[in-house]
């Protein structure tokens, strides 16, 4: 195994700053998939997603020396991506906003969905499950979608720091999003069964 692949993010950043381009490429390979997933889910446009994806890493390539090694490289990367996504939306004069709120879920976790999940969810193949999850997430508000994608790769505290909202608000948003996905997926699978 190439020793560079087992190095911590901050070590790789330091190596890159000292002139080792392999360290930069390792960081790209390490985060390319989650970062691309997040960006493409947010902008819904393949060409724009690829451009933003490249811009995030090029920004790091040019300004790596400004990064402070605090073990938060991943959060820094997603924050940069988020800012570029917001710029894209502003440029597109898109009416969507990550700060818009949804109507449901007023009571945080008081409405925890009872354990009545239908067995059909368990019977979905992996591909079917991915499709069902994607369709359900597409129906969420942008803010909820962002929570779901960020939640995969960042801790809740890191998400709170990234989006600039209190931890409790982030947890509430995420819970509402998960709850809505569950309702939508169960609806989808029931519909699928009926068809």
Is residue 103 a contact point for other proteins (CB under 8 A)? no
Segment interacting with other proteins (CB under 8 A) among 6-14, 70-78, 98-106, 126-134:
126-134
Q: Are 181 and 137 in contact (CB under 8 A)?
A: yes
**Residue 130 beta carbon to other proteins: minimum distance, rounded to whole angstroms:** 5
**Residue 7 beta carbon to other proteins: minimum distance, rounded to whole angstroms:** 17
Please report, to the nearest 10 degrees, the dihedral formed by the alpha carbons of residues 32, 163, 101, 48 taken in order: -30
Nearest CA to 73 out of 7, 126, 119 is that of 7
Cα distances (angstroms) measured from residue 63 to each of 31, 35, 50, 67, 115: 18, 18, 20, 7, 49
Is residue 30 a contact point for other proteins (CB under 8 A)? no
Is residue 161 a contact point for other proteins (CB under 8 A)? no
Is residue 117 a contact point for other proteins (CB under 8 A)? yes
CB count, 10 Å around CB of 111?
13
Please report, to the nearest 10 degrees, the dihedral formed by the alpha carbons of residues 58, 60, 63, 65 taken in order: -140
Is residue 175 a contact point for other proteins (CB under 8 A)? yes
**Residue 177 beta carbon to other proteins: minimum distance, rounded to whole angstroms:** 10
One residue of 15, 148, 163, 184 binding other proteins per CB under 8 A: 148
CB count, 10 Å around CB of 164?
9
Contacts with other proteins, residue ranges (CB under 8 A): 21-22, 24-25, 28-29, 32-37, 50, 53-54, 57-58, 61, 108-109, 112-117, 121-122, 126, 129-130, 132-134, 148-149, 151-152, 155-157, 171, 174-175, 178, 181-182
């Amino acid at each position: 195994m190439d020793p560079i692949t087992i190095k911590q993010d901050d070590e790789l950043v330091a190596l890159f700053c000292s002139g080792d381009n392999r360290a930069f490429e390792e960081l790209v390979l390490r985060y390319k998939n989650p970062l691309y997933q997040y960006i493409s889910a947010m902008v819904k446009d393949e060409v724009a997603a690829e451009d933003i994806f490249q811009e995030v890493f090029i920004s790091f390539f040019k300004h790596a020396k400004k990064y402070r090694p605090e073990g938060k490289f991943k959060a820094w990367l997603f924050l940069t991506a988020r800012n570029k996504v917001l710029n894209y939306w502003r440029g597109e004069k898109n009416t969507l906003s990550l700060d818009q709120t949804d109507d449901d879920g007023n009571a945080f976790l008081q409405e925890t969905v009872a354990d009545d999940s239908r067995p059909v969810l368990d019977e979905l193949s992996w591909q079917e499950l991915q499709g069902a999850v994607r369709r359900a997430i597409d129906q969420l508000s942008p803010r909820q979608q962002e929570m779901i994608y960020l939640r995969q790769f960042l801790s809740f505290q890191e998400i709170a720091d990234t989006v600039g909202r209190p931890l409790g608000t982030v947890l509430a948003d995420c819970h509402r999003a998960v709850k809505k996905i569950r309702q939508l997926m169960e609806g989808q699978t029931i519909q699928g069964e009926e068809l």
